[in-house]
Amino acid sequence: MTHLTADSMAELFSGAVTLAKSGERVSPRGMATREVRDVHMLLTQPRARLLYAPPTRILNPAFAVAETVWHLSGSDAAWIFDYNTRLRQYADDGVLRGAYGPRMRNWAGKVDQLDRVVETLKEDPDSRRALIQLYDPAQDAAGHKDVPCTLGFRFHLRNGRLHMATTMRGQDVWIGMPYDVFFYTVLHELVAGWLDAELGEFHLYVGSLHMYENHLAQADQLTSLAASPLMPDLTTPWRGFDGLLGQVAARDLTGHPGWDTMARTLRSYRLWKDSRREQAWRVADGIDGPLGQALTAWYGELHRRAESSATPATTGAR
């Protein structure tokens, strides 16, 4: 097993990219890929979760926020497509059948696994049974397009610190990893808060760490990255948590500084999608910390793409 250790997402991403580029050539589903098998990644500061790596890799932080809220709320609703239209290609009849949320919060229509993890560790802090299972053979062998890459989560409360481990069958470094780690570490932070525990180490175990060859040229341009700063605190009581998520999804302020930053990010992006670009910029400029910086960079990237794709006829039209 190959091991990578990092203090922030920037360092972890850079190391994973370098590793994946050196991987073996394989072609699952006919797609040329570089792959390294059996990789363990350790992030020592889970709140240093947001990758900021312009101009080579620019994230849409609104999607990172939206996907996190979508998962945590137990949803498979189509509103997630407003933040990432490419997800539609993986939907069956308009639904992403592999959505994590329903499996995590309402497994088989019966079990809120997130609630059960918290209760398990409150009842027995040394328990080894604090698990969330996502992969479901009964559903995922059926042939739908969206099959979870994430198999599940494990939580261990030791000496007052909560450690979390995520196991994945496969991890696409260039596209998926920055968004996945954002969600995983928010979940980690929340559970630690509900247990009144310190935030421990985050571990990511990947069966196939890979990069598609059409991303190699971009990856070659990645230079040294500054360490990712810590995100604002997101700990919040379990009671009322689902209501808070509903407010954030609706882009409403909650009174919680960290979650209000998330809500403002979604609000700004909704303005951008509604072609109210000046207002979107103004809201983004007012978002403190890493999310505001990342959102401003994303709008710059969208503007650059629009200009580069414009034809002479389009640019000269009145």
User: How far apart (Å, rounded) are the C-alpha atoms in residues 31 and 17?
Assistant: 18
Contact 52, 297 (CB under 8 A): yes
DSSP summary character for residue 146: -
Pairing state of beta strands 131-133 and 150-158? antiparallel
The answer to whether 20 is a known catalytic residue is no
- 3-class state of residue 145 by DSSP: coil
Contact 284, 294 (CB under 8 A): no
Q: Spot the catalytic one: 149, 191, 225, 262.
A: 149
Pairing state of beta strands 161-168 and 150-158? antiparallel
Other Cβ atoms less than 10 A from the Cβ of 12: the count is 26
For the CA atoms of 193, 6, 71, 105, what is the dihedral angle to 10 degrees? -50
Q: What angle do CA 279, 292, 253 make, to 5 degrees?
A: 70
User: How far apart (Å, rounded) are the C-alpha atoms in residues 76 and 101?
Assistant: 7
Closest CA to 136 of 167, 100, 164: 100
Kindly list the catalytic residues: 149
